[in-house]
């Protein structure tokens, strides 16, 4: 075992800190404070993505040949740590953590050359088109059809839970190309290089938190070149499974959870408990905060073990363990936040939450975000494979 | 012992169900929430017609002399239908104070539905307890002047009749204040009600009652019973809708309710609902018999908050993605439960009152 | 609604209180303090049963014609309340709540005349022979065979989780009389009028708490008269289902839970919290105690609704709701007890726990019982139909 | 960063596994627990032979100079096999103090296994924290006299070398006390260890270290890491055995693991185990690097207590009736976890330390 501190690392930390202290615009900082989802305010997050890219730091986990900074595991943790300490908004995951790594692995050289630069730089935003109204957890029963026609596919059907599709200029998606055999067969993985295609229509869906984060996308005779297929026709299921691996693991999520907890802790120091003194001084709050501190710590340890090459990362249950732990911690932290703000969480402040809004916020920063964050995070145990599906998968690895 | 509604109560309740089913579909309710006023005078008129605004008041002010059981019977229905009209604010809270102090004029106008009342009492997280109120009343040349801030006053900026609690000398007093006197910050709550923060800056007030802490506690206790009834109604809606969804929504070729974890989650929702509703009915019976003790109210408020949250979160999880949208009642029902939990002392506040050492006399 | 107090009831309460203050022997009181299970110390509980019987109060729930006292619902609650306030040991349920009510409903007049008096008086103790090593939750797959031979059945096989079988003089049981058809068919309900039959052997099983509460019973060519069958041959499954109704509901369990909580509360007032002051003054303990107070209250309300004739009692899910709620509350209260005693719960005091033991107890009364009670109560979610099975049943009533 | 065992550590661990599989079957362990001494000198001799008693001590006292990682590697195995021999008491606790103060004579005897040591420190629920010790040392003609009571001293009545913490003037000091001096109340713990309450009534003591609070905290912190390793080993045993049982035990014609609630409970056991073990390994690495902060220890102790309880209770529920018997290791593994939770401050104690306001310097 080895966890010795390292002087070079401290130099690196100073360099990161200096940049993160100076590079983000006030709007980007504000966007960070007003992030109530995995998906922060779109314009500011993308602007920040481009600033980070200019410094070469937009994709800490990417290999050097594709534009990654070539950092060690420790450096990546230091970066995530300093990033989160400043409450900066996370970059959107779809490009950097999902379709990007997938294209590196399974894309053609042409696809890589065409698409990776825009993902790295933040020119492009990709939405994910997997779920359909009839196919949620049971993804394999999707029915949006792609029929070959000349060099193209012709698409008909609809997709739902396409995050920020109304902002997206690109999309990766699963379509049905065959009704033969098992329903997992006959699925194909496609790239859409634009969203303003004839016959493609996007309808935003308002969420519980009042934000149009998710969308429905309708396809009526939409033409997509077959060259934008990833993997073989009818082999999209295994392509998607490969992608899930990237989605469910491998990055440093714990610094963000820790940051959320610090926000709650700091707000508690300025909140009366109702029993005399502040919430921070209240033993009940301390115990509950302490429990989440301990849980976040264990999750951080789990992440560090995995990232540093401990065998846990090769456990077939690893991606599911990671998803369940991180999503349920997110929810528990969000509940603590709503407890801290109490009554002040009740005003619906969806207007004031917008970056640059004229609306006067009621209460402090936490009062503004606690309830929408809580409501939004109810989705973390639903998307990317419900936690029920994840537990099924974990249990399967325990069967002898 | 009897914890059932009478035939009359059941009839009244059924009439409210019918009226709301007709005039208060979820879509209609959503347009009302999005409207400028945030609640519907037409629906209000319908409630007046049904006698609901007059329900709990004495006959000499035009009331029907109904009991807390009557109000609970209809409040469950209000909760399931996510009512946003000012029933709690005007009838239960402000009306409750005015009835207790015997202000006939205001009461008549409130019972008839022509005036809307509001009670400005809570001051935010620090003051779930009346003894912690810091708004101050000072004697002035022509009466009293009130200074302080009240938070999340239900319909606080819509009211014609505004009742305000404030510290007067060593005690807590209740005042009538001109509804236009405070600086109001209006907003909609997450569960679709209109409310306001009110700042009083030497606002002139008419004394309703000095040393009114016991009186106010009584009103708040009964209001908590009614709010709890709304929450239990919402829980019932969540359970019913989720059970239906689980029976009809198919994934992997079978209804999702046939997955044992979904089935067991439904069972847990039912257990929570039954526990909360049992406590609601028992506590209502105690209130009716004039035997409501502080710890009974604490049990009710805490159980509704805790169990309601669990039911709502389970409903969303079972619905999956669609449960996360503004387009289904599920999330709104959950937000109603959360709002009830946050008002008048949250779960932890009440649990700690229950767990605190008791004087031997209070044991039993 | 009506919950008005009642002067007659208060007179009744005084009468009950007077008797319960004077009638139990010191050993019976000690047995109450040392009860760590549904099944208290056998000798003292049976002695107490006989004392109560002499006063006519051994079976509050029984109809007058079979020896019940003819109390109202309110009187039964008052009795349970006063009983529990004094921490008296509960009477064993097998006779009074299980086989007794069943025989009233389905027994022949001869069976009723022969068996009910001994159940009422506490002369007899009946053990229950349902489960088998291969048939736990899946009770219908039981395989102990009863083969008709003349006027008798000849039994071979074994039963497990036969509570206090080593103390029992009688037994009711399920046996297989046919292998035809569905496995629920072919089961027969039998009474054993003695336990010292040739070929019958009892082996006590030591539980986690160190107590021989459960037993295994082995049958080798044991002869039982067919006259001791309840219901028709091969109809035992419906007889057993009828009995389950009595087991799972109908009595006032909440006063006992409340009593347990009061014991924990009282001990907390004399226990340092480790943060200055006593545990009773500690806000964290108060919150957790308060949560259980609230839960016990809700359960009491649920019970009172049911007993007073509210429609909830006719909900087909009622017996399962009752079982899940009461068993899980029992467990949660037992956990709180172990928290109160902390380190003092660790010494294994199985010797000192016996009524009349010479062994010096370490720590107070709660230290003596907290850990065995906690360990024993792990079984409450397992026996009488696991809580998983109960939740299946509840969910089934919600399906449309 | 590296959180893996070295090849040497894996070999050592494997040798312990082999030895315990051979000599320490569950049945053998149960006879040892029921025996008069309550632990086995033969097994102890085997541990000596394997070098385990000498493992963490410096070479100049016959030790092997092993690290905390070495001890953790074997302690997990001890936990899974429910070891009741005095390793924690003698090697980790008493040995830890003696090594820190450099008492070579006693250390040699302890490292060689010929003497058994014990540390009398905890005083019950009120004193998980060294600063709360009330046992007093007073200067006497020929040294010091100790008065007070220590609770649940592991192997407190079996020890040849007894180390005792006591208040001396304003600080906390550590003493050697003649092992026969205190009045001992012997007992077996629920997890099968021998322990004793010790009453000191002016017992003569030799000063090992004055102002020893930091020293003692260091020893206790490392002991907590080792105890946590035992608990994590026990959790691993619970998980493995329960997964096996669920795969083989049939009800309703199928393995019970094919019921989704059973499957999900197993998944939750795995999640809890992985979380606890990750924290164990991370904390061990910090200890090895000399970077163990109080909050790291608090996290570990709290997580092992909370998650361990959950794993044990799930294991029993999944096993059903047989899980409730003394005849299967399941309940004993659970009791080992519960005992570790109760010693040196329970879950809540450590959670509250974590949740308490921090000085800005400690943040990060």
Q: Which residue of B has its CA nearest to A209?
A: B326
For residue B101, the tally of other CB atoms under 10 A from its CB is 18
**Structural domain count, chain B:** 3
- In a domain? residue B319: yes
Residue B131 has pLDDT above 90, yes or no: no
Regarding whether D221 and D176 lie in a shared domain, the answer is no
Q: Which two tokens stand for residue C242?
A: 């009828």
Q: Does B41 touch chain A (CB under 8 A)?
A: no
Residue D128 has pLDDT above 90, yes or no: no
For residue D259, which residues of chain B lie inside 8 Å, CB to CB?
Answer: 260
Note whether D288 contacts A290, CB cutoff 8 Å.
no
pLDDT in tens, A104-156: 999 999 999 999 999 999 999 999 999 999 888 888 999 999 999 999 999 99
- In a domain? residue B125: yes
Domain that holds residue D80: 7-87+95-114
First to last CA, chain B: 18
Note whether A388 contacts B132, CB cutoff 8 Å.
no
Which domains are seen in chain C, by residue range?
Answer: 7-91 (no CATH), 127-235 (2.40.110.10), 249-398 (1.20.140.10)
Closest by CA position to A97, among listed A255, A247, A229, A206: A247
Residue C88: what pLDDT? 97
In angstroms, the Cα distances linking D203 to B159, D41, D109, D132, D242 are: 77, 29, 23, 20, 48
The maximal CA–CA distance of chain B, rounded, in angstroms, is 77
- Which of the residue ranges A4-18, C199-213, D88-102 would you say has the lowest mean pLDDT? A4-18
Note whether B125 contacts A271, CB cutoff 8 Å.
yes
Closest by CA position to D29, among listed D243, D185, D191: D191
Task: Give the H or E element holding residue C129.
Answer: strand C126-129
Distance from CA of D113 to the nearest CA of A (A): 28
pLDDT in tens, A254-277: 999 999 999 999 999 999 998 889
d(CA D87, CA C325): 43
In angstroms, the Cα distances linking A195 to A43, A93, A165, A168 are: 17, 19, 8, 7
Regarding whether B325 and B201 lie in a shared domain, the answer is no
d(CA C286, CA D120): 31
Q: Which residue of A has its CA nearest to B128?
A: A274
Q: CA angle, A39 as apex, A33 and A43 as ends, to 5°? A: 75
Note whether B3 contacts C325, CB cutoff 8 Å.
no
d(CA D115, CA D90): 8
Residue A251 has pLDDT above 80, yes or no: no
pLDDT in tens, B319-331: 999 999 999 999 9
Residue D98 has pLDDT above 80, yes or no: yes
For residue D5, which residues of chain A lie inside 8 Å, CB to CB?
Answer: 1
- Listed by number, the residues of chain D in 263-282 with a beta carbon closer than 8 Å to a beta carbon of chain A are 263-264, 266-268, 270-271, 274-276, 278-279, 281-282
For residue C395, which residues of chain B lie inside 8 Å, CB to CB?
Answer: 257, 263-264, 266-267
Higher-pLDDT residue of A313 and C172 is: C172
Q: Which residue of C has its CA nearest to A286?
A: C284
Residue B200 has pLDDT above 70, yes or no: yes
- In a domain? residue D328: yes
Q: Which residues contact C198 (CB under 8 A, 6 or more apart)?
A: C221, C222, C223
For residue C71, the tally of other CB atoms under 10 A from its CB is 17
- Per-position DSSP letters for B126-157, written without gaps between them: T-SSGGG---EEEEETTEEEEEEEEEEEETTT
pLDDT in tens, D195-240: 999 999 999 999 999 999 999 999 999 999 999 999 999 999 999 9
Question: How high is the ipTM of this complex?
Answer: 0.96
Q: Which two tokens stand for residue D229?
A: 């390793």
Residue B98: what pLDDT? 98
Regarding whether B155 and B262 lie in a shared domain, the answer is no
Task: Give the H or E element holding residue A159.
Answer: strand A152-160
Chains that touch C (3 or more CB pairs under 8 A): A, B, D
- In a domain? residue B362: no
Contact between residue A269 and residue A280 where contact means Cβ atoms under 8 Å apart: yes
Residue B363 has pLDDT above 50, yes or no: no
Burial of A17 (0-12, 13-18, 19+ CB in 10 A): middle
For residue B197, which residues of chain A lie inside 8 Å, CB to CB?
Answer: 362
Regarding whether D107 and D31 lie in a shared domain, the answer is yes
Note whether D278 contacts A283, CB cutoff 8 Å.
no
- In a domain? residue D358: no
Best residue of A283, A287, A290, A339 to probe chain C, by most C CBs closer than 10 Å: A283
Average pLDDT, chain B: 95
Q: Which residue of D has its CA nearest to B264?
A: D261
- In a domain? residue D187: yes
Distance from CA of D4 to the nearest CA of A (A): 6
Distance from CA of C284 to the nearest CA of A (A): 5
Residue B294 has pLDDT above 90, yes or no: yes
Chains that touch D (3 or more CB pairs under 8 A): A, B, C
- In a domain? residue D144: yes
Contact between residue A152 and residue A225 where contact means Cβ atoms under 8 Å apart: yes
The CA radius of gyration of chain A, in Å to the nearest whole number, is: 22
Residue B82 has pLDDT above 50, yes or no: yes
| End position of a domain, from candidates D182, D212, D242 | D212
Q: Which residue of B has its CA nearest to C287?
A: B352
| End position of a domain, from candidates D184, D212, D240 | D212
Regarding whether D249 and D321 lie in a shared domain, the answer is yes
Nearest to C343 among D152, D188, D335 (CB): D152
Regarding whether B134 and B102 lie in a shared domain, the answer is no
Residue A250 has pLDDT above 60, yes or no: no
Query: Which three-class secondary structure state does DSSP give residue A174?
Result: strand
- In a domain? residue D2: no
Residue C400: what pLDDT? 77
Q: Does D264 touch chain B (CB under 8 A)?
A: yes
Residue D362 has pLDDT above 70, yes or no: no
Q: Which residue of A has its CA nearest to B320?
A: A382
Residue D190 has pLDDT above 50, yes or no: yes
Note whether D343 contacts C381, CB cutoff 8 Å.
no
Best residue of A342, A350, A375, A386 to probe chain B, by most B CBs closer than 10 Å: A342
Read off φ and ψ for residue D359, nearest 5 degrees. -70, 145
CATH of the domain at D173: 2.40.110.10
For residue D189, which residues of chain C lie inside 8 Å, CB to CB?
Answer: 346-348
pLDDT band at A4, cuts 50/70/90? confident
Regarding whether B149 and B36 lie in a shared domain, the answer is no
pLDDT in tens, chain C (400 residues): 888 778 899 999 999 999 999 999 999 999 999 999 999 999 999 999 999 999 999 999 999 999 999 998 889 989 999 999 999 999 999 999 999 999 999 999 999 999 999 999 999 999 999 999 988 888 899 999 999 999 999 999 999 999 999 999 999 999 999 999 898 999 999 999 999 999 999 999 999 999 999 999 999 999 999 999 999 999 999 999 888 776 655 567 899 999 999 999 999 999 998 888 999 999 999 999 999 999 999 999 999 999 888 999 999 999 999 999 999 999 999 999 999 999 999 999 999 999 999 999 999 999 999 999 999 999 999 998 999 999 999 999 999 7
Regarding whether D189 and D136 lie in a shared domain, the answer is yes
d(CA B52, CA B44): 10
Q: Which two tokens stand for residue B324?
A: 């996360």
In angstroms, the Cα distances linking D62 to D43, D45, D49, D56, D58 are: 20, 16, 13, 10, 7
Regarding whether D347 and D222 lie in a shared domain, the answer is yes
Regarding whether D340 and D309 lie in a shared domain, the answer is yes
CATH of the domain at B55: 1.10.540.10
Residue D101: what pLDDT? 97
Q: Does B302 touch chain C (CB under 8 A)?
A: yes
- Please state whether beta strands D143-154 and D194-209 pair in parallel, antiparallel, or not at all (unpaired): antiparallel
Contact between residue C199 and residue C220 where contact means Cβ atoms under 8 Å apart: yes
Regarding whether D349 and D224 lie in a shared domain, the answer is yes
Residue B364: what pLDDT? 37
d(CA A249, CA D11): 31
- Which of the residue ranges B166-170, C239-243, C287-291, D166-170 would you say has the lowest mean pLDDT? C239-243
| End position of a domain, from candidates D212, D227, D258 | D212
CATH of the domain at D336: 1.20.140.10
Regarding whether B62 and B170 lie in a shared domain, the answer is no
Best residue of B235, B270, B298, B301 to probe chain C, by most C CBs closer than 10 Å: B270
């Amino acid at each position: 075992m080895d966890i010795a501190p390292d002087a070079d690392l401290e130099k690196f930390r100073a360099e990161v800190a200096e940049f993160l202290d100076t590079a983000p615009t006030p709007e980007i900082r504000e966007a960070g404070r007003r992030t109530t989802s995995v998906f922060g305010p779109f314009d500011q997050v993308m602007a920040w993505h481009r600033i980070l890219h200019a410094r070469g730091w937009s994709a800490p986990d990417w290999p050097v040949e594709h534009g990654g900074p070539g950092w060690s595991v420790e450096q990546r943790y230091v970066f995530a740590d300093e990033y989160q300490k400043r409450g900066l908004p996370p970059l959107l995951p779809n490009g950097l953590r999902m379709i990007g790594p997938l294209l590196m692995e399974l894309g053609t050289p042409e696809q890589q050359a065409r698409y990776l630069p825009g993902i790295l730089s933040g020119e492009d935003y990709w939405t994910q088109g997997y779920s359909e109204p009839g196919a949620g957890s049971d993804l394999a029963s999707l029915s949006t059809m792609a029929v070959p026609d000349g060099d193209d596919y012709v698409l008909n059907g609809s997709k739902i839970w396409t995050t920020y599709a109304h902002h997206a200029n690109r999309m990766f998606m699963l379509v049905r190309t065959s009704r033969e055999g098992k329903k997992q067969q006959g699925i194909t993985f496609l790239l859409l290089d634009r969203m303003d295609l004839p016959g493609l229509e996007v309808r935003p869906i308002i969420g519980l938190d009042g934000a149009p984060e998710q969308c429905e996308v309708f396809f009526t005779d939409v033409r997509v070149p077959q060259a934008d297929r990833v993997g073989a026709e009818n082999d999209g299921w295994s392509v998607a499974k490969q992608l899930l691996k990237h989605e469910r693991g491998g990055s440093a999520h714990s610094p963000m959870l820790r940051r959320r907890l610090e926000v709650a802790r700091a707000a508690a120091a300025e909140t009366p408990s109702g029993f005399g003194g502040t919430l921070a001084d209240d033993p009940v709050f301390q115990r509950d905060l302490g429990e989440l501190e301990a849980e976040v710590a264990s999750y951080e340890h789990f992440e560090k073990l995995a990232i540093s090459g401990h065998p846990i990362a090769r456990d077939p249950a690893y991606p599911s363990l990671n998803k369940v732990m991180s999503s349920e911690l997110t929810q528990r932290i969000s509940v603590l936040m709503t407890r801290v703000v109490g009554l002040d969480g009740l005003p619906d402040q969806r207007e004031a939450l917008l970056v640059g809004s004229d609306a006067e916020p009621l209460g402090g920063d936490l009062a503004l975000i606690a309830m929408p964050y809580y409501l939004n995070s109810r989705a973390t145990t639903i998307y990317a494979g419900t936690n029920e599906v994840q537990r099924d998968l974990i249990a399967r690895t325990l069967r002898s | 012992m009897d914890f059932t509604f009478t035939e009359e109560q059941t009839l009244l309740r059924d009439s409210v169900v019918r009226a709301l089913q007709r005039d208060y579909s979820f879509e209609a309710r959503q347009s009302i929430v999005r409207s400028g006023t945030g609640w519907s005078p037409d629906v209000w008129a319908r409630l007046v017609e049904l006698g609901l605004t007059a329900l709990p008041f004495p006959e000499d002010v035009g009331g029907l002399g109904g009991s807390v059981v009557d109000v609970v019977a209809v409040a469950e229905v209000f909760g399931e239908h996510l009512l946003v009209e000012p029933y709690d604010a005007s009838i239960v809270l402000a009306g409750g104070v005015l009835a207790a102090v015997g202000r006939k004029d205001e009461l008549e106008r409130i019972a008839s539905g022509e005036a809307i009342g509001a009670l400005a009492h809570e001051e935010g997280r620090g003051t779930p307890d009346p003894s912690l109120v810091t708004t101050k009343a000072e004697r002035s040349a022509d009466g009293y002047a009130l200074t302080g801030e009240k938070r999340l006053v239900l319909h606080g900026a819509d009211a014609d009749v505004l009742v305000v609690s404030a510290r007067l000398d060593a005690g807590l007093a209740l005042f009538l204040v001109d509804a236009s006197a405070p600086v109001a910050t209006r907003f909609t709550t997450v569960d679709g009600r209109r409310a306001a923060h009110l700042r009083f800056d030497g606002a002139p007030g008419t004394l309703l009652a000095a040393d009114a802490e016991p009186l106010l506690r009584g009103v708040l206790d009964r209001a908590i019973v009614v709010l709890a009834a709304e929450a239990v109604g919402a829980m019932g809606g969540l359970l019913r809708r989720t059970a239906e969804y689980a029976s009809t929504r198919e994934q992997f070729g079978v209804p999702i309710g046939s997955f044992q974890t979904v089935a067991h989650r439904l069972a847990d929702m039912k257990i929570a609902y039954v526990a909360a509703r049992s406590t609601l009915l028992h506590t209502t019976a105690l209130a009716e018999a004039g035997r409501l003790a502080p710890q009974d109210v604490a049990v009710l408020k805490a159980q509704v908050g805790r169990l309601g949250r669990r039911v709502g979160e389970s409903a969303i999880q079972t619905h999956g993605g669609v449960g996360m949208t503004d387009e289904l009642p599920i999330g709104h029902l959950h937000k109603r439960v959360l709002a009830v939990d946050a008002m008048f002392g949250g779960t932890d506040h009440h649990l700690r009152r229950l767990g605190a050492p008791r004087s031997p006399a209070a044991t039993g």
